[in-house]
């Protein structure tokens, strides 16, 4: 079995924050924290990158609207032009309404696909669930995961550092 990392269990959020800060100061970069509620301080310590999802949603909305507008224009101007009452073929006001609706649909689709991609889904099982101690049913502890892929990771050294930082238990997580 290959090792995914080490999971350290802490009793309270303050201990988790201090441990994450301590491991960051020691040079660890590939780590994640798990908590029963949001701990604001962890966002800066773990260096969670800003999401690019709003840009994907914007691009999906613009692409959907542009594609449908172009389809409408092509069908009325080129493919099947019908002159009704001397009106211009390219009458943009009704096109805009349909293009707007398609833009909303494109944005929603891009958001859905973007969330799946950003979260690495579909993933049916994450390795952290292999840890015996990782269960919110046992009382809502606070967890810090140090991945074995981190360049600073050394099993014995990392385990000792986590223990010195106040971990109740430190457990190996299999991939």
Q: Is the model's pLDDT at 134 over the cut of 90?
A: no
How far, in Å, CA of 105 to CA of 173, rounded? 41
Domain ranges of the chain: 3-49+125-174, 53-118
Residue 121 pLDDT grade (very low, low, confident, very high; cuts 50, 70, 90): confident
Token reading at 7: 């999971």
CB 63 within 8 A of CB 50: no
* Strands of 3-10's sheet in order across: 31-34, 142-147, 3-10, 169-174
How far, in Å, CA of 115 to CA of 30, rounded? 21
Token reading at 44: 């800066």
Place of tokens 């800003």: 50
Q: Is the model's pLDDT at 131 over the cut of 80?
A: yes
46-102 pLDDT tens trace: 988 889 999 999 999 999 999 999 999 999 989 888 888 888 888 888 899 999 999
What share of the chain has pLDDT > 90, as a percent?
62
What share of the chain has pLDDT > 70, as a percent?
97
Ramachandran category for residue 166: left, alpha or beta (phi over 0 → left; psi -120 to 50 → alpha): left
Q: What angle do CA 138, 164, 153 make, to 5 degrees?
A: 90
pTM: 0.73
Q: What is the CA radius of gyration of the chain?
A: 26
Q: Which residues pair with 145 in a beta bridge?
A: 7, 32
């Amino acid at each position: 079995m290959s090792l995914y990392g080490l999971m350290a269990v802490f009793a309270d959020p303050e201990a988790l924050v201090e441990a994450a800060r301590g491991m960051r100061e020691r040079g660890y970069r590939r780590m994640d924290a798990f908590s029963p509620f949001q701990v604001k301080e962890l966002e800066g310590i773990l260096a969670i990158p800003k999401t690019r999802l709003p840009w994907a949603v914007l691009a999906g909305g613009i692409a959907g609207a542009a594609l449908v507008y172009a389809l409408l224009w092509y069908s009325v101007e080129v493919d099947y032009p019908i002159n009704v009452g001397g009106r211009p073929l390219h009458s943009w006001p009704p096109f805009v309404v349909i293009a707007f609706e398609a833009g909303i649909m494109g944005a929603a689709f891009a958001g859905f696909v973007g969330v799946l991609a950003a979260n690495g889904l579909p993933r049916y099982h994450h390795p952290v669930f292999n840890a015996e101690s990782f269960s919110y049913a046992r009382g809502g502890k606070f967890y810090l995961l140090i991945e074995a892929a981190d360049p600073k990771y050394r099993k014995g050294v990392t385990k000792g550092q986590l223990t010195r930082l106040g971990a109740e238990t430190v457990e190996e997580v299999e991939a």
